[in-house]
């Protein structure tokens, strides 16, 4: 029977449907001959996602030494976290240590969550999460990248800088949620685009500046909602000669008029009707940016998934709920983050590849039958708190632990015992303001601390008290080696936040080749600004705004309703799919 519930954290009402309850029943594990039912969640979907994001530092990188070999390394753990052991990638994956070195017995008089939190403080943590990369030291949660710098949640890129969720792309800079792109700059949500700059939500576009929600277009400037167009300016058709004049003027003005261009582009974008959701080649799905999927509800940035719900940044997931990245593939996984590469029948997992039949574990890889483990890798099995058991012993002990956990429900933000919830806020090794939770669910320090998170107080920016370097027009750097060295040796000051930052040689070469101005905003602020260009992963129930005749509703307002990420407070008109398709491109 469906349940109407009130979130214990934000007090928002939410519904647990019959299908949800059937899923929880399906994934409830059996130990020692007894089924241990996973209960309905006590937090709403947004609070559950925030809790998962709260253990995930993606973009904040620091310098510290490996606690095993002593080598200086790049790490997602700041050097002030002296209570943690952090190993470089080579040491962490080596056979110089084992998870069993830190095994501990279960103490029934103590909270199990407290015990695994204590274990986590002892087991070495990997400095970064990436594999198969070449000449790409400053990246995190990434794989198979070549010559990339500060790319995150990304894979199979080459010569790409400042990327977030970038895949299979080459020679791109300042891009987020893009795939199979080349020579793109300041783009977000792009697919198969070439030489597109300041582009948003476009597919198969090339040689464009300031373009949004368009497909199969080339040589367009300041345009929105176009398809199969060329030589357009502000959605008006031009001749090639007319277009080239405007393009030359725009490029010449990038150094001094960029803010004006952005404002003008924004005004064009908000005047165009928006499709209620970007759901392509999919069946029976709700959410946004869903591709090639089936039966996925309340999902975002999800592709090739089936029978999933409350999932974010998921690729090739099946029959899974409450996942925050990344899949490729996963099946029957619940309330987990950054789980993938064939993982299945798992719940309450943080960072895992090829993990099966496991619960309440972090940084465990190529293993199965784990309960409350940290750092187990390379075919570990039947372990509890990193201690080895026989199959029979494992079954009995897990049954005992869950029975004890069920005796005391978990309170949000606490280190209570409760069975059936993801790790509480205090389990995280990072300050709330270090994690991706601050980007999607911003809150002040006081509020975060009330929920059980801690706050990172250290200033990790470059120590600089001198005179900051003022960038020159890009033409000055093309043939003047002296000016190039001044720029590369100087420290710039962000005009928005005041944070110091530097320009890298490969980055400068990209700007020179593409006639782009040197940025005056810190790369992290630029990334945040791009994320702010797309809607948050929150669904609102709305009615279609279309009132045009000829759209099969006789000039009256369309009565179709839908779930959309466009808030009723936003200025854009939002159309159902039918009315949107009637609009001329």
- Cβ pair 246, 256 in contact under 8 A: no
Contacts of 301 (CB under 8 A, 6+ apart): 165, 177, 288, 289, 312, 313, 314
- Residue 583 pLDDT: 63
User: pLDDT tens across 60-86, in order?
Assistant: 999 999 999 999 999 999 999 999 999
Burial of 372 (0-12, 13-18, 19+ CB in 10 A): buried
User: Would you state the pLDDT for residue 414?
Assistant: 46
Q: How many CA atoms lie within 13 A of 298 on its CB side?
A: 20
**Nearest one of 138, 116, 115 to 127, comparing CA atoms:** 138
Strand pairing class (72-75; 62-65): antiparallel
Distance CA 45, CA 287 (A): 13
Residue 464: the pLDDT is 79
What pLDDT shows up at residue 175?
Answer: 97
Question: Are 367 and 376 contacting, i.e. CB atoms less than 8 angstroms apart?
Answer: yes
Distance between CA atoms of residues 342 and 356, nearest Å: 8
- Please compute the mean of the pLDDT values over residues 426-445 and round it to a whole number: 94
Lowest mean pLDDT among 192-206, 358-372, 541-555: 541-555
**How is the chain split into domains, by residue range?**
1-54+99-127+320-456, 169-271, 475-531, 540-582
179-236 tens-digit pLDDT: 999 999 999 999 999 999 999 999 999 999 999 999 999 999 999 999 999 999 999 9
- State both tokens at 37: 């039912």
Q: What is the pLDDT of residue 118?
A: 95
Across the range 412-423, mean pLDDT stands at: 68
Q: Cα–Cα distance between 347 and 421 in angstroms, integer? A: 9
Euclidean distance between CA atoms 288 and 308, whole angstroms: 14
Q: Which pLDDT value is given to residue 514? A: 95
**What residues have CB less than 8 Å from 261, skipping those under 6 apart?**
198, 210, 222, 250, 253, 254
Q: 456 forms bridges with which residues in the sheet?
A: none
Q: What is the reported pLDDT for 461?
A: 75
What's 101's DSSP letter? G
Neighbours of 465 (CB within 10 A): 6
Tokens 């320090």 map to which residue? 445
Task: Tally the C-alpha atoms within 13 A of residue 382's C-alpha that lie toward its C-beta.
Answer: 9
pLDDT of residue 550: 72
Q: Can you tell me the mean pLDDT for 293-319?
A: 94
Quote the DSSP letter at residue 235.
Answer: T
The two structure tokens encoding residue 554: 């006789």
Q: What was the pLDDT predicted at 417?
A: 52
Count of C-beta atoms within a 10 Å radius of residue 10: 16
Whole-angstrom distance, CA of residue 275 vs CA of residue 283: 17
Which whole number is the average pLDDT over 273-285? 94
pLDDT band at 340 (very low <50, low <70, confident <90, very high): confident
User: What's this model's pTM, rounded to 2 decimal places?
Assistant: 0.90
How far is it, in rounded angstroms, from Cα 175 to Cα 450? Answer: 35
- Quote the tokens at residue 120: 């986590």
């Amino acid at each position: 029977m469906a349940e109407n519930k009130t979130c214990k954290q934000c007090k928002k009402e939410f519904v647990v449907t019959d299908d949800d309850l059937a899923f929880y029943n399906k994934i409830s594990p059996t130990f020692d001959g007894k089924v241990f039912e996973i209960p309905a969640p006590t937090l709403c979907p947004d609070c559950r996602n925030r809790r998962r994001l709260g253990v995930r530092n993606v973009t904040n990188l620091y310098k510290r030494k490996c606690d095993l070999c002593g080598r200086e390394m790049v790490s997602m753990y700041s050097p002030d976290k002296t209570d943690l052991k952090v190993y470089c990638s080579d040491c962490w994956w080596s056979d110089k240590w084992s998870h069993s070195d830190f095994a501990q017995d279960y103490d029934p008089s103590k909270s199990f969550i407290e015990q695994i939190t204590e274990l986590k403080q002892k087991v070495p943590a990997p400095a970064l999460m990436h594999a198969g990369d070449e000449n790409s030291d400053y990246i995190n949660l990434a794989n198979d990248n070549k010559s990339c710098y500060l790319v995150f949640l990304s894979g199979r890129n080459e010569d790409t800088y400042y990327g977030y969720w970038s895949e299979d792309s080459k020679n791109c800079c300042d891009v987020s949620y893009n795939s199979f792109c080349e020579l793109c700059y300041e783009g977000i949500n792009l697919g198969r685009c070439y030489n597109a700059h300041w582009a948003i939500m476009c597919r198969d576009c090339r040689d464009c500046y300031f373009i949004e929600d368009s497909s199969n277009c080339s040589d367009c400037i300041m345009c929105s909602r176009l398809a199969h167009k060329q030589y357009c300016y502000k959605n008006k058709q031009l001749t090639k000669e007319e277009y080239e004049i405007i393009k030359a003027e725009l490029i010449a003005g990038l150094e001094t008029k960029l803010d004006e261009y952005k404002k003008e582009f924004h005004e064009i974008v908000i005047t165009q009707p928006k499709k209620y959701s970007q759901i392509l080649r999919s069946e029976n799905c709700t959410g946004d940016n869903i591709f090639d999927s089936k039966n996925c509800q309340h999902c975002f940035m999800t592709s090739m998934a089936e029978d999933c719900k409350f999932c974010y940044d998921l690729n090739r997931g099946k029959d899974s709920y409450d996942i925050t990245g990344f899949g490729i593939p996963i099946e029957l996984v619940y309330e987990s983050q950054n789980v993938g590469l064939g993982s299945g029948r798992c719940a309450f997992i943080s960072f895992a590849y090829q993990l099966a039949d496991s619960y309440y574990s972090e940084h465990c890889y190529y293993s199965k039958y784990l309960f409350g483990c940290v750092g187990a890798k390379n075919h570990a099995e039947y372990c509890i708190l990193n201690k080895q058991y026989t199959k029979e012993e494992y079954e009995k002990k897990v049954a005992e632990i869950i029975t004890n956990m069920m005796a005391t429900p978990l309170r949000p933000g606490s280190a209570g015992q409760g069975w059936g919830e993801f790790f509480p806020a205090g389990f995280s090794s990072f300050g709330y303001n270090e994690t991706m939770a601050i980007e999607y669910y911003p809150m002040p320090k006081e509020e975060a601390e009330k929920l059980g998170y801690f706050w990172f107080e250290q200033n990790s920016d470059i120590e600089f008290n001198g005179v900051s370097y003022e960038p020159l027009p890009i033409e000055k750097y093309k043939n003047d080696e002296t000016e190039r060295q001044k720029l590369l040796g100087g420290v710039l000051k962000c005009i928005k936040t005041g944070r110091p930052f530097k320009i890298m040689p490969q980055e400068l070469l990209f700007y020179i080749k593409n006639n782009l101005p040197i940025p005056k905003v810190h790369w992290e602020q630029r990334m945040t600004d791009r994320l702010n260009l797309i809607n948050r992963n929150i669904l609102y129930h709305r009615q279609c705004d279309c009132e045009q005749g000829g759209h099969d509703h006789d000039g009256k307002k369309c009565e179709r309703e839908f779930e959309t990420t466009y808030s009723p407070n936003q200025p854009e008109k939002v159309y159902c799919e039918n009315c949107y398709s009637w609009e001329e491109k």
